[in-house]
Chain A
Amino acid sequence: MKRLNIYILILLIWSLLPFLWQLVTSFSTTEAILEPFSFTGNHWTLDNYSQLLTANPPFWQYLINSTIVGCSSTFITLVLAIPAAYSLSKSNTKTQSLFKIIFLATALFPYVLLFLALLELARYFDLGNNLFALALPYAGLSLPIAILLLLSAFNDLPKDIEEAAKIEGMNLVQLLRWILIPLIAPATASTALIIFIFSWNEYPIALTWISQSDKLTLPVAIARIAGSSVYSVPYGAYAAATVLGSIPLILLVLIFQKGIVSGLTQGAVKG
């Protein structure tokens, strides 16, 4: 047990140290960043943050933009993926495995290869500089993995429960509303999180589809910080932006953690 604790500690340090470093850097003056072990002069500062938040547009604008894109792409994906996964779960094993292979192949496709084509589409349909439009390719790219995850959740549901609901007189909509969606909630939560994180982090499509500075998403905005000065790399501002950009994700994981972990179907069948 003791030894296990040590391993856990090592693992924690391994994964959290970079984040701690960012956190420290974000509160450090430029001099302190360049000479981390000299303790002369003023070490700590809030300048990096105030610089970000007073810029034009202020940094929280990017957070809002990314949230809009993240929420819309998650919503679109789930609305399409839940019915798709459910109907696939009702088809025979042959059809299912065929679609599984197709979706897996699509999910593994390096989407960077698509972004030029997507850019042409955006131009043609005039979808540039529109946050909701940006959610469309994100939803498209997330669909395969979302359907695969939800399909296995539907397949894991005991058949009896659905049949009992049918005998109670539920139609398809009622069945989804009262039984199926609540039962796959844990899988839906983790799927939603994966989609949200993907669109939160996505760079090449956001870079090409959005050019107006007040509509940028986080990754592009952070990249622009580097371009703000030709002669120096603004490590402090970088770190502050990284910290601010991570906070929403950490909050989301904490909120959904219970739903993801809980085994909701436990005790549904058998003694």
Chain B
Amino acid sequence: MTVDLKHIGKFINGDWVVEDLTLTVNSGECLAILGPSGCGKSTTLRLVAGLEQTDSGQIFINNREVTNVAPADRRIGMVFQSYALFPHLSVSSNLKLGLKIRGKSAKEQVKKVSYILSIMQIEHLAERLPSELSGGQRQRVALARALIRDPDVYLLDEPMSNLDAQLREELRPELKRLILDRDQPVLYVTHDQYEAMAIADRIALLNKGKLQQIGTPEDLYKNPKTIFAAGFIGRPQINFLPEINGMIKAIRPENIIFKSEGLACKIQSREWLGTHQLLYLESNLGALRILLNSETSIPERAFISWNKSDEHIFSSKDGRRIIF
């Protein structure tokens, strides 16, 4: 089972919200679509779902072209950011309704619903209305509704952005167990790079409707192909050094070390982060961030240095990585 997007585009109000996007999600793979707000990631998902029509390109699910197929016939399971549960129906009716629409017998409906409720561990909520559930419980019901559909592809639109950090951490392994470990490809839209790195096999990074880079989380982190990718992935943010000869060098805060000699710096401020400390420095090359182990003692007169091999070098013209 696969999803293929071939040169898809969406044009709204004189702008390409998604432009010439080509990517493949393989069987059993979770691809995170990551990017800042307004980068077109949700639109991409809605195009795959069929909730919006493409203005260019083709969409294939399981090698079947679905570009002009209605959402209902694309065999997709979608989880909305807002959950979008049917507010007037109980949890079990929420799950049953789709089965009923698709012509399943009453007996089969009951059987499937109780099975899904049990694997989601929400049997005790079966008769409650969505308004009587907590955020995490609503999230589970929304996942259950996508699961019970037994779709060819799962589309998750920021499924955890309405939950608090602790609940997100609790739900992540569960999401893996229930959906990500299945054969169906998963498209996971998020603006949170940590979530993308934690969950996805590969990440597609989008900016202003254009694909910046697609690859494993490690690949994106270690070999950012554009200035945008370098600046977006990794927290604290990468340091960009002043432009020289049409080249912009970048160095990650964790790659900088104190040395007995090197670039002289003044320490402006320090943030203690538990396992690490983040220092803000002022140097001839401008403001720099440096991430150190929290045990590291800070010298009085600071000199910093880094390995040449840790430098990322980009062209200032087109923002692309320069490979020597």
Contact = CB atoms under 8 A, between A and B. Distances in A.
A158 interface: yes
Interface in A141-169: 158, 160-161, 163-169
B11 to A, nearest CB: 16
A268 B87 contact: yes
A270 B76 contact: no
Contact of A269 (B49, B51, B83, B88): B83
Contact of B86 (A161, A166, A174, A271): A161
Contacts of B97: 168, 178
B142 to A, nearest CB: 9
A264 B88 contact: yes
Given A160-B82, A267-B87, A167 B131 contact: no
A265 B102 CA distance: 25
A40 interface: no
Contacts of A170: 72, 101
A167 B88 contact: no
Contact of A169 (B78, B87, B101): B101
Interface in A51-91: none
Nearest to B77: A167
A170 B134 CA distance: 27
A267 B51 contact: no
A266 interface: yes
A144 B97 CA distance: 34
Contacts of B149: 168
B162 A168 contact: no
A176 interface: no
Query: A160, A168, A170, A178: which has the most chain B beta carbons within 10 Å?
Result: A168
B259 to A, nearest CB: 49
B87 A168 contact: no
Interface in A166-185: 166-170, 174, 178-179, 182-183
Interface residues of B, number: 34
Interface in B160-174: 162-163
A222 B26 CA distance: 77
Given A163-B51, A164-B78, A167-B78, A268 B101 contact: no
B88 to A, nearest CB: 5
B98 interface: yes
Interface in B13-72: 49, 51, 70-72
Contacts of A265: 87
Interface in B83-97: 83-88, 97
Contact of B72 (A167, A268, A269): A167
Contacts of A165: 86
A160 B101 contact: no
Nearest to B80: A160
Contacts of A268: 82, 84-87, 130-131
Interface string A185-206: 0000000000000000000000
A182 B82 CA distance: 20
A52 to B, nearest CB: 43
A165 B78 CA distance: 11
A164 B86 contact: yes
B49 A271 contact: no
Interface of B: 49, 51, 70-73, 76-78, 80-88, 97-98, 101-102, 129-135, 138, 145, 149, 162-163
29 contacts: A158-B84, A160-B80, A160-B81, A161-B85, A163-B49, A163-B71, A164-B78, A164-B80, A164-B145, A166-B51, A166-B71, A167-B51, A167-B72, A168-B72, A168-B97, A168-B102, A169-B73, A169-B102, A178-B97, A182-B88, A265-B87, A267-B132, A268-B85, A268-B86, A268-B130, A270-B82, A270-B162, A271-B162, A271-B163
Given A267-B87, A268-B82, 19 more contacts: A158-B84, A160-B80, A163-B51, A164-B84, A165-B86, A166-B71, A167-B51, A167-B71, A167-B76, A167-B78, A169-B72, A169-B73, A169-B98, A178-B86, A178-B101, A264-B88, A268-B86, A268-B130, A268-B131
Q: Which 8 A-B pairs have the closest CB atoms?
A: A267-B131, A271-B135, A268-B87, A160-B84, A269-B82, A169-B72, A168-B98, A164-B84
